Amino acid sequence: MKNALQLAMALCLMAASSLAAAANYTLWINGRTGGGAIGNYNSFTYWGPGTTAAGVNKKSVNWDGRSSIASQSGKIRDALDCFCTGGNWCYIATHSAGDLILGYTLANYGGSARVKKNATANASGVCGDTDGTSQTGWNIKWVRAASGAGGGSELSDVGSWAVSEALVKDLKTTTARAMYNHNTTRNVWFYMYAGAKGTAYSGILPGQDDEAVAYHSTGGVAGAAGGSYCNPSDWLCNDLTLGTAANEGGSAKWSYHSVSFRDDAEAYNHYANGNWGGIVGVVRSAMVNSAL
Amino acid sequence: MLLAVLVAAVGWLALRASGEAAPAAAAPAPPSAQGPQVFGQVDSQPAQPSAAERAGRRQQMIEHVQLTDHTYCSYLEGSKYPAGSRPMAQNPDQAYPNRPVTEMTPMRTGDRTSDPNILLQTSQSRVFMAANESVAFSLRAVTPDGSLVPLVVTRAVAAGIMTTGARPTTQVALAFADDGGGADPVAGDGAYAAVLTPAQTGLAGFHGTIRTEVRYTAGGKNGSLIFDVVYSPKLPAVWAGPPREVVEDGSLAFVLRADVRTPGRYVVTGRIDDARGRPFALATFNEVLGPGPNDIRLLVFGKLMHDGAPALPLTLRDVDGYLLKENTDPDRELMPRLEGPVLKSRTQSLNGISDDEAGGEERARYLAEFAKDRKLARDSLAAFDPAQPLPPSECGTPSR
């Protein structure tokens, strides 16, 4: 009897481990300032309480939020290798410069050979190999970008942020836009969530903004430089349109970028405030409903 | 397979258990002092959702069906061309990489303040610069209705951005002028221009972001702005030999020979125009190259040529490339830029050009997963509300 129970338990564990290898994960990639423990995928300090629902099997992809995009990209690649290879697939949420670092990573490394990993990370955030085989790129279902700074921010253009942070120069609008081809997403959709509750920097950020990033960036507007985009109620400024349509005035969005949320009520600012607040909260709700 | 083994094992254990001596039965409970129960105990039932809750849940499920359907169908459509050969229409900001980057912004007068009545028109001819290249900067002040505002550049200094604690670089003074010379095309038009050639200055060996800070007065106020360029003084590879073309594996490939000095991952991009000069395709090479001679293939995918039906022959132009360095800043060393036409194809027809869609492990993997998600979403909705038809698919009704 005892041997039978032991056999049953062993078989259950084997079945459980093979089933656990095929899972969906929800990755959250932070923006400027960072805050979560790098390498600890359960450290949600940047976002809010770790107990808050935010998509299936949520993981916090922490990078330092002040070093350059290129120097921190490896942290993103480690996380993508961990949770988005083999039988595992990822939904991804980004905030602010998290959009820039993910876009850079996908454009430059999205077609590279990735060794399949087992989703069990060491203290540095690196996971072990599964069977040693590799695949082309990662398994990503889609991305939701809260206040995406893929197009940079004019706050970097004027020196509002400390030049001692290498990330700040990467966020200069012309540099961010030239850094990589933002249309190269490997056919993965970036759903953009653009907040408009910004006032303090309205003289610097063109059009509508959430106090850190303007609509041309949070709305995924293509081009070598920024521009002024607003809500339909702002008559003297071209509208940022919803979806993938060209904006009022004819400017295009980057391919595979779609505006899912435009803050017509000017209700959401840039800041999570340690409690999944601001525009991050809007994305969190979307992840809860759709990252299954 | 493993699940089948588990089920069989559990079944075997159950059969064994049925043959084993039954455990000693517990002593029967004493009869109740209240007499026999007539009615059985009614189990508590979960509260039924209200009509509104059910409608809300149904709407969520419909949206999920639509999301999974869009994800599948758009991937199916988009991945018929490989990542390295895409329609230029899908790359709206990549067609003319060598045009100046222009901006128009309110005159910045402080950290958070600007003057909306004075607009600064600025341009820079490069953002990323290869060795020995020059960059031209210009600025002009106008009112919102386009009237010129006289401007005086009071100081313009370029220096490399260093991390905190590192020794500052040389500072290079730039002379902005409106004299019709150098980078200034028209004298006296109110636009001031200057050229920076790092290789001819104390910044010749600097690798990284060079910031040019320009201070000026306009409309009686002081303002400032910055231009950033990322300079790469070392050439990791050079072009070697004439470009050529080849039709292979059903596609047209422009082949550029490079002599690689520093091995690593190279990202090279070229633009392809049709015979009428209209941008048709964007070709990108992204592979690891070893040292020495290497062929860089910029592909115009066969199916893309069939679908787009461009006027032939095609021309490759405006090629740029870089060695991508992992996990470091600056992250690239630029190859020499090939500006303008590089090679006009001799291919005048679609003979030998395939109409097949792209294949590959990545595409198969994604389509399998997205099809699974779509089916699961549709099945869930159908089970929830079998009386209602399912939402239509963007790419044809899948089998249930």
* A 222-281 near B (Cβ less than 8 A): 222-226, 252, 254-256
Residue A161 CA to residue B52 CA, distance in Å, equals 48
CB contact under 8 A, B6 and A139: no
Q: Using one digit for the tens of pLDDT, what is the confidence trace for B353-373?
A: 999 999 999 999 999 999 999
pLDDT band at B43 (very low <50, low <70, confident <90, very high): low
Sole residue written with tokens 């290249």: B133
CB contact under 8 A, A183 and B92: yes
What pLDDT is attached to residue A203? 81
pLDDT at A111 over 90: yes
Q: What's the predicted TM-score (pTM) here?
A: 0.90
Asked if the structure places residue A139 within a domain, the reply is: yes
For A17, the enclosing helix (H) or strand (E) is helix A2-20
- Give all strands (DSSP E) within B37-182, no chain letters: 85-87, 101-108, 114-124, 128-129, 135-142, 148-149, 151-160, 171-173
d(CA A265, CA A195): 9
* Residue A275, domain CATH: 3.40.50
Residue A3 domain-assigned?
no
- Residue B200 is classified by DSSP as G
Query: A58 or B169: which carries more pLDDT confidence?
Result: A58
Which residues does residue B38 pair with via DSSP β-bridges, in sequence order? Answer: none
Residues of A in contact with B79 (CB under 8 A): 187
Domain boundaries, position A89: 23-290
A2 in a domain, yes or no? no
Residue A190 lies in a domain: yes
* ∠ Cα A224 A191 A232 (to 5°): 75
Across the range B29-33, mean pLDDT stands at 41
Q: How would residue B164 be classed by pLDDT, with cut points 50, 70 and 90?
A: low
Could you tell me if residue A189 is inside a domain? yes
B125-154 tens-digit pLDDT? 999 999 999 999 999 999 999 999 999 999
Which residues in chain A are closer than 8 Å to B60, comparing Cβ atoms? 289
What's the number of domains chain A is made of? 1
Nearest to A224 among B101, B225, B365 (CB): B101
pLDDT of A25-65, one tens digit each? 999 999 999 889 999 999 999 999 999 999 999 999 999 99
Contact at CB, B71 and A163, closer than 8 angstroms = no
Question: Encoding tokens for residue B162?
Answer: 């260093």
| Tens of pLDDT, residues B81-99 | 999 999 999 999 999 999 9
Q: Is A26 helix (H, G, I), strand (E, B) or coil?
A: strand
Take residue A56 and report the two structure tokens written for it. 């299936």
**Pairing between strand B135-142 and B171-173?**
unpaired
Cβ <8 Å between A204 and B108: yes
Cα A13 to Cα A7: distance, rounded to the nearest angstrom: 10
Q: Does A20 touch chain B (CB under 8 A)?
A: no
What residues in A contact B5, CB-CB < 8 Å?
Answer: 11
Residue A21 in contact with partner chain B when CB distance is under 8 A: no
Nearest Cβ partner for B108 among A1, A158, A184:
A158
The answer for B 191-250 residues in CB contact with A (under 8 A) is 209, 211, 225-226, 228, 230
Whole-angstrom distance, CA of residue B54 vs CA of residue B216: 64
Q: What is the largest CA-CA distance in chain A?
A: 81
Q: Which residues of B294-317 are buried (b: 16+ CB within 10 A; e: fewer)?
A: bebbbbbbbbbbeebebeebbbbb
Question: Tens digits of per-residue pLDDT, A213-238?
Answer: 999 999 999 999 999 999 999 988 99
Mean pLDDT of chain B: 89
Owner of token pair 């409106």: B178
Answer whether A108 sits within 8 Å of B3, measured CB to CB: no
3-state secondary structure (DSSP) of residue B14: helix
Give the pLDDT score at B32.
43
In a domain, A1, yes or no: no
Task: Look at residues B200, B210, B228 and name the one whose alpha carbon lies nearest to residue B168.
Answer: B210
Residue A10 lies in a domain: no
